[in-house]
Structure 1
Amino acid sequence: MPGTAPELPFFVYGTLLPGEPNHDLFLRGRAVAEQPALLPGALLYEGPGYPYAIEGHGTVHGVLVTAAPGAGAELLAHLDRLERYLGAGHPDNLYERVVREVRLQSGRRTGTGAGTGTGTSRAWVYLAAASVTRSLRTRGTPVPGGNWLTRRPPSGR
């Protein structure tokens, strides 16, 4: 597992979103709050059944997930494996785990942190690794509007 990391919430934008296949597998019982959020300065591209976010002049829609107390390190390890993140700059990474500022959207939070909120939060985000980003920029298919859920109906529905 990559080195020790600060406990931050996670910004998710693809198969970890509520209603998507990896949400219950990885987040059920490990998250206490989920709130709609935006990742500015990023573009979303289609992948083989899951999306990639890269740096760019756009906004990606997603959810800010707060880990349950004491579950952050375990969740980080599970997500690192899912996203094939082996460490900062590792040549075999599929994604890089980076800290970015996300904008919280007004709306219902789920979990014990029920309520509404706006503002910003620092969060872990998995962006496409450099080699994947180069490929996406030259021959990738952008997701219009940066919202994975609007490109197709959510899984299982």
Structure 2
Amino acid sequence: MADPVLPLFVYGTLRSGQRNHTHYLGGHCTRIEPAVLAGAVLHQGPGYPYAVADPDPGRRVRGELITVRPADFARVLTALDELEGCRPDGTGYYVRLRRPVIVTAHGERVAAWVYLAGPELSARLRARPAPIPSGDWVDPA
């Protein structure tokens, strides 16, 4: 069964103006809006961030909600899964999960695909966590 067409919540190198945005998302987006993922903590990885779920809904990751043109969705999602090392069995670098995201401009909750650190990445970086207090990789202050 095909994955449902949902917007993507991105918080690192796929955000507008960041190094992977143009290559993977350029020309495929119909809307880009500031958004927040509640119940997650953002960490500084080796040149890219990673988010992990957190039981505290007050912990937040800031990013963008990106709507991909439906005709391009399956191709874009496949490319992003590859980029993120996302494996169908959930053992990869990242796992892609359906999560509620809050659109900053009007507070609406929207279901979106989110890449969170998977077991492989978490195990590799567990010894040296580097949380980003602001929850924003682009503006960590």
Name 1:22's counterpart in structure 2.
20
Question: How do 1:57-136 residues align onto structure 2 when only pairs under 5 Å count?
Answer: 57=56, 58-90=59-91, 93-106=92-105, 117-136=106-125
Structure 1 counterpart of 2:40, from 34, 39, 42: 42
Name 1:140's counterpart in structure 2.
129
Please state whether the residue corresponding to 1:74 is helix, strand or coil: helix
Q: CA RMSD in A?
A: 1.6
After TM superposition, which residue ranges in structure 1, 4 or more long, deviate above 3 angstroms?
Answer: 134-138
Aligned residues: 138
Please state whether the residue corresponding to 2:113 is helix, strand or coil: strand
Q: Is the 8 A contact 2:5 2:70 kept in 1?
A: no
Structure 2: how far apart are the matches of 1:102 and 1:138? 29
Name 1:150's counterpart in structure 2.
139
Residues 35-66 of structure 1, C-alpha deviations (whole Å, 9 max, x = no match): 10000000000111100000113100000000
Letter in 1 for 2:51: A
Please state whether the residue corresponding to 1:77 is helix, strand or coil: helix
Report how far residue 150 of structure 1 moved: 1.3
Residues 95-131 of structure 1, C-alpha deviations (whole Å, 9 max, x = no match): 000000000111xxxxxxxxxx430100000000024
Structure 1: how far apart are the matches of 2:83 and 2:61? 20
Structure 2 counterpart of 1:55, from 41, 48, 53: 53
TM-score normalised to the size of structure 1?
0.82
Structure 2: how far apart are the matches of 1:99 and 1:66? 14
Letter in 1 for 2:60: T
Structure 2: how far apart are the matches of 1:68 and 1:105? 21
TM-score normalised to the size of structure 2?
0.91
